[in-house]
């Protein structure tokens, strides 16, 4: 479905981003993999994509830094020629109750989770518009829809992503670029692996489907939104949460 297209995925070395990158490659897209931290993890994703016969490159980039992300975007456009799909997935957590949360923890989460989406979208928007049928997919969270105790920073950042998604959809529609958000619930990743067992058990008990989701289940929705099958969908927030937030 995505043969010949180029997708940029942030936070592509682990978790949901890794699954999205693999799925994009499986459906024929070339992939520019944005990561920060462990280069070996990014290299593994790159090799897996190349084994599927697509072009893949990795880029070490702090998406929260406007100038750094601008230079990386210029580099990947030069490497790939044009960009058709952008998946803004990079995210961090610094959980804590609002009364105890430090300014640094609040700012760090907002800067990566929300400003990072702005930075990457701004720097790649012209290339995406030139594609004629561009797709921007932002990874939000059900926490951004319903809030979550102990996640004032994370919930605020993900709610901001939803607002940014809808505004981007309205501004870019004239260029036939769609912008949608995916709002995962509890997904089994390295990020959720560190949660206390009691919280995991409570999640399994309260989620209507009685289990956490998988990163591949989020990736399936990303592939759909990146494909021509979603050409008349824009400004939407699709929850992948097993019915948790209804």
**pLDDT at 194 > cutoff 80:** no
Q: What is the chain's percent helix, strand, coil content, to nearest 5? A: 50, 15, 35
**pLDDT at 216 > cutoff 80:** yes
Q: CB neighbours of 162 closer than 8 A, spacing ≥ 6?
A: 140, 144, 145, 181, 183, 237
Q: What is the mean pLDDT of residues 40-44?
A: 98
pLDDT for residue 204: 83
Q: Percent of the chain beyond pLDDT 70? A: 100
Q: What is the mean pLDDT of residues 146-161?
A: 96
pLDDT for residue 189: 85
Considering 27, 59, 154, 232, which one is annotated as catalytic?
154
**pLDDT at 111 > cutoff 80:** yes
Backbone angles phi, psi at 139, to 5 degrees: -90, 110
The overall average pLDDT reported for the chain is 95
Q: Give CA 54 to chain center in angstroms.
A: 21
> Taking the CA of residue 225 as centre, how many other CA atoms within 13 Å lie in the half-sphere pointing to its CB?
28
What's the CATH number for 6-240?
3.40.50.720
Establish whether 154 is a catalytic residue. yes
H or E, element range at 200: helix 197-206
Distance, CA of 13 to CA of 177 (rounded, Å): 26
pLDDT for residue 198: 79
Q: Give CA 212 to chain center in angstroms.
A: 18
pLDDT for residue 226: 97
Three-state secondary-structure class, residue 57: strand
pLDDT for residue 159: 98
Q: Percent of the chain beyond pLDDT 90? A: 91
pTM score over 0.85: yes
């Amino acid at each position: 479905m995505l043969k010949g297209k180029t997708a940029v995925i942030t936070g592509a070395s682990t978790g949901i981003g890794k699954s999205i990158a693999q799925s994009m490659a499986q459906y024929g897209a070339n992939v520019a993999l944005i990561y920060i931290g462990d280069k070996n993890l990014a290299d593994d994703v790159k090799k897996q994509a190349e084994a599927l016969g697509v072009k893949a490159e990795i880029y070490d980039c702090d998406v929260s830094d406007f100038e750094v992300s601008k230079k990386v975007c210029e580099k990947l456009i030069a490497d790939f020629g044009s960009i058709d799909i952008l998946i803004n997935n990079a995210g961090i957590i610094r959980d804590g109750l609002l009364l105890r949360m430090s300014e640094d923890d609040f700012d760090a989460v907002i800067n990566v989770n929300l400003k990072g989406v702005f930075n990457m979208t701004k720097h790649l928007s012209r290339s995406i518009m030139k594609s004629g049928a561009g797709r921007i997919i932002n990874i939000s969270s059900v926490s951004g829809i319903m809030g979550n105790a102990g996640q004032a920073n994370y919930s605020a950042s993900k709610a901001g992503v939803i607002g940014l998604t809808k505004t981007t959809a309205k501004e870019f529609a004239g260029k036939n670029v769609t912008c949608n958000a995916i709002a995962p619930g509890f997904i089994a990743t390295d990020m959720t692996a560190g949660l206390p067992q009691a919280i995991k058990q409570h999640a399994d008990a309260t989620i209507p489907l009685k289990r956490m989701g998988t990163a591949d289940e989020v990736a399936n929705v990303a592939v759909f939104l990146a494909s021509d099958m979603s050409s008349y969908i824009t400004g939407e927030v699709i929850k992948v949460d097993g019915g948790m937030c209804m």
